[in-house]
Every structure is written in structure tokens, then in C-alpha cells.
Amino acid sequence: MTGLLGGYFIFGGDQMRSNDTHDHSKDGVEERWTCSMHPQINLPESGDCPICGMDLIAVQETNDAVSQNQFKMTENAIALANIQTTIIGKTNIEDDVLKLSGKITENEENKAVQVSYFNGRVERLYANTSGENIRKGQLLASVFSPELVATQQELITAAAIKNEQPQLYQAVRNKLRLLKISETQIDQIEKTGKIKESFPVYATVSGTISEKMVAQGDYIKQGQPLYKIANLSTVWVVLDAYENQISKLKIGQKIVIASKAYPNQKHEAKILLINPIVNTKTRTVKVRATLDNDQSLFKPGMFVLGYVQSNTQKHAQSLTIPASAVLWTGKRSLVYIKTNPDQPVFEMREVTVESKDGKTYMVHDGLQKGEEIVINGTFTVDAAAQLQGKKSMMNRKRSMISDIVDQKNGKEDVLGRLPESFQEKFSKTLPFYFEMKNAFIASDVNAVSMSAKKIKEMLEVLNLNGLGKNESLDVKNSQKLISEIVGSQNIDTQRKHFIIFNEHMINLVKLLDRVEDRFYVQKCSMANENKGAIWLSLEKEVKNPYYGNMMLNCGDVVGTIQKKSF
């Protein structure tokens, strides 16, 4: 008995201690399961994919502790993609200053037209060039006028009988006065009794000739313009303000003007007019101020910038972010947050923004001062999120179980699936999509239009009943964009519409069940003015539809879409 107890403590005890020893590194870490075909699926237990029915696979966890919606990128990937971030609110000192762009124009209140007051032929011009400065009373031209010759003869005749016919005499003199002949000239004609064949034309205002409208030898009529003259001692500053900036402007508000011609000089003016009519093409209104120009620094046509202190406290407290930080999908606007300042950990965030000046956005909701956001390489970060099965622009359905199934009364209904009748008809557009994409690769405008017409016809007959709000919006936007492609005969314009068309098409393709092919989502970071653009391809080899032969192989595969055929 003693031997058995000794053996137990020597061997059995060690075995017990050995059995009690295990790896605690994964304690407290929740195991997650996803679908290889649907990376947006992320469930706490193994089983079947709620979309395609395939077996779920375990998510490969890293040793780094990140939350469900976060993901990590390698330092090498960040460097290669030139991903840049900025901290929101660091430049908020200037956020309450509106920056408007515009140009210098002539002050229309000081514009004049020098006209001819009688019919005739221009014998000589003494002011021959636009931009020439003239003063009031300066000789501009001499004109031969048969009408004046006849009227002078009437004056000489009337002067001989002015004692007998004083009314006739005064009527002839008045006739010459109306033709802008001076009293001195009239007296000289009467005194000498000689008829002048050519009469001088004198400037009635001072200023700068902005346009010469006649040439020497031209026949002119009474009232015909000879010169356009502008007084540039004051000029107008005409600036463009976006709709969302109108409420921050008011008449009498001080505005500081700066120009590239004089970068170190600032000039103050006051807003005199805010145009009540919005330009329907640019969605801007004209804001006007008058600027003193005694030193002739400002030339009409010169581009300038105007800085206006906002008159609303709300604007001063708002946050602004660069336009490059925002991704758009339908009506949603998304940004990527760097959640850890010391590690490359990112998370997608939905925000509410409005355009401030075309280059920046004003944030109304979704971000706080001090948060760090991605401002360059946003598409690359989004692609990394998709490949890791995280929330992304393309993975529109959220990854939590409550967003995938509706568990009311114990019944699971799969959400985010398109009606079968819709899928059947929509799938028929895909061969023509790839036909159009190949036409873009070949830069064949006519072939693009032909394929687009077929897609347009199919999209227009789709029944949107049973679609969700986002899916309906994708279809409607696709219909509008394909119509624009059909209506254009310019390959560059067609490609601009194709960029946005792809975003909506890919959103719909990702929700299809009955597709047998594997689709490759490809992306060119240089397209769309270096903002990046995506497209679908049946081949893994990249052939760029946005540049054709110029940059045929520019791009990368950023994802795959493959559905199981039922």
C-alpha cells in the first residue's frame, strides 16, 4: 500500500500536474467563424453560411488584441500604399474662415461707350489699341460726314438772314449742338464762312479703352459705338460661394483679398452684393465687393482669393476633413479611423458631411476632435478591410450576427438577399457589362455605347419591388449612369461615368446568389484623379479599362466575388 501511494505521488501526481498545465494565451478570446465566399459573415459559432450554405471556417486570429470591427495592416503595406493620416482639429484655428475663389472684373458702374453722334466715314483714328489710357476731351478720331457738311451750309445761309429769321438761325445752331459740335466750332464756321469736311471726335469720359470697335476707313452711323471705355480706379471682386456657405455671408461683411501677383499684400473690401440666383451648373452664387485700384495693381481677369470671417458660431466649432478622406457608397459617406496612435490598427466609421469648398468636407456627425483619420490611400485601407472580412465600403452588410439574420420568435430569415426574379434578370446584364469593360480597354467609343445600350434596356425593366433602400438606390443610380454613357461620344466622359457605375454594380453583384463565375474586383489607384477606381473582371490578369493601352496593366486584384449556384 505504501508502495502504491509512493508510486502515485511520484508518477500519478506528475501526470495530474501535467494534465492541469495548458495554454492560457487564448483564454478570453472569442472564436469567430466566417465564409470563404462571403467574408462579411462573422459568427460566434461554426456551422453553415446563412447566404450560400457552405461550411464556415475559423477566422485566423492574430496575437494583437483588436475589436470586432478593427483590423491591422503591416508597416510594409502602409509604406508601399503611401497611407497617410491626420489628426482632426489640428488646423481648426482657420476653420471659421471661409476661403472663396474668384476674379477681378471691371466695375460696371464706371463703364462707358464712346459713340458717334453723326453718320460718316472714319478718316483717322488717334486711339488705336485696347488698354490705352485716355482722358476726357482727348481727340480720338476725325470723321467725314456729308450730313455735317449740309448742316454747316444751312448755318452759313441762316447766319446771313439771322436778323430777319432769328428762329431759323437758332434752330440750325441747335441742330449742330445735338451733333456734339461745340459752341466754339459753330462760331468759327459762322465767322469764316468755310465748311469743314472732317470733324473731330473727342472723349466724353476718362478711362482705359477696353475694346476698339471700329477701324480707319469704316462707315459709321449715328449712335454706333466706337470704343468701350472702363474706369479702373475701382474694380469689382466677384467670388463664387457654395450653397452651404451662403448662410455664413452677409452684406457689409469684411473680406480680405489676396492674389498670386502680389502674394505678400492683402487688401480689404466689403461685400456689397450676394447674388440671389444660384448657378444651376456649378451650384454657386456670385459674391461681389468693390476694391480701390488707384495704383492699378488689379487687372480685370486676374484670379484672386477672398477670406471671410464666418458670422456663425456653429461654423467656428465645426470640424473639417480633406475630401480625399471620404469614401462614398450610395448616400453613405465613410472614413477610416486609426484607433491606435502607436500601431497600424484601423476601423471604418460612417460619417455625415457636407461639401465646404470642393476640397474639404465639414463634419456634422461621426467624428470628434483629436481622432486620427486616413487621408491618403483610403481605397487601399478599404481593400485590406474587405480581405480580412471586416466592415468596408464593398462589404455593405454589417458583420454582426444581428445584422445577418432576424431572430424573431426563434425564426431566422436571411437579410440582404435579392429576390430571385430580380437576380435572374439582373444576371443577364453581366455578359454585356464585361463586353463594355473590354470595349473600354480597347478605347472603342462605339463599342462602349453599343454594350451600354443593351445594359440600359435590361436595367430599365428591372422590378425593384422587394429590394432594400440601398439596393434600390444602386439600381436607380446605375440606370442614370448607363444613360450618361450611352449619350456620350467621348471616351473620357464615358470613363468618368463608368467609375461611379462600377461602385453601384459591384454592390449589387456581391448580393447575387446564382452566379457560377468567379469575379475579380480590381482597382487602379491612379484612376479618378488619384482617388482610385474599381471594376469587375472575369480574369485575374489586370487589364485597365480607365487608361486602355496607355497603362494596360496598371492595377491590382483587391478582392474576389464567388457565389455558389443553387
Q: Kindly state the cell numbers that stand for 171.
A: 434752330
Residues 322 and 375: beta-carbon distance below 8 Å: yes
Q: So what's the pLDDT on residue 510?
A: 84
Residue 445: pLDDT band by 50, 70, 90 thresholds?
A: very high
411 vs 133 pLDDT, higher one: 133
Question: What is the per-residue pLDDT for 165?
Answer: 86
- CA dist., res. 415 & res. 408, Å (int): 13
Cα-only R_g, the chain: 39
Alpha-carbon distance values, 83 to 291, 382, 530 (Å): 44, 11, 13
How far, rounded to the nearest angstrom, does the alpha carbon of residue 415 sit from its chain's CA centroid? 35
pLDDT digits (tens, 9 = 90+) for 488-517: 899 989 999 999 999 888 888 888 876 667
3-state secondary structure 238-290: EEEEEHHHHHHCCCCCEEEEEECCCCCCCEEEEEEEECCCCECCCCEEEEEEE
User: What number of other Cβ atoms are within 10 A of residue 185's Cβ?
Assistant: 15
Q: How far apart are CA 83 and CA 381, in angstroms?
A: 8
**440, 435, 449: which is closest to 543 by C-alpha?**
440
Closest Cα partner for 43 from 469, 397, 560, 340? 397
Q: Please write the tens of the pLDDT for every residue from 254-279.
A: 999 998 888 888 899 999 999 999 98
Cell of 289: 465687393
Give residue 23's pLDDT band: very low, low, confident or very high (50, 70, 90).
very low
Query: Beta-strand (E) ranges in 391-458?
Result: 405-408, 411-414
Please determine, for residue 315, whether its predicted confidence score (pLDDT) is greater than 70.
Answer: no
CB of 542 within 8 A of CB of 557? yes
pLDDT, the chain, mean: 79
Average pLDDT over residues 409-437: 73
Distance between CA atoms of residues 339 and 374, nearest Å: 11
3-state secondary structure 191-205: HHCCCCCEEEEECCC
What secondary structure, in 3-state letters, does 84-149 show?
A: EEEECCCCHHHCCEEEEEEEEEECHHHEEEEECCCCEEEEEECCCCCCCEECCCCEEEEEECHHHH
pLDDT digits (tens, 9 = 90+) for 64-99: 556 667 888 888 778 877 889 988 875 443 456 788
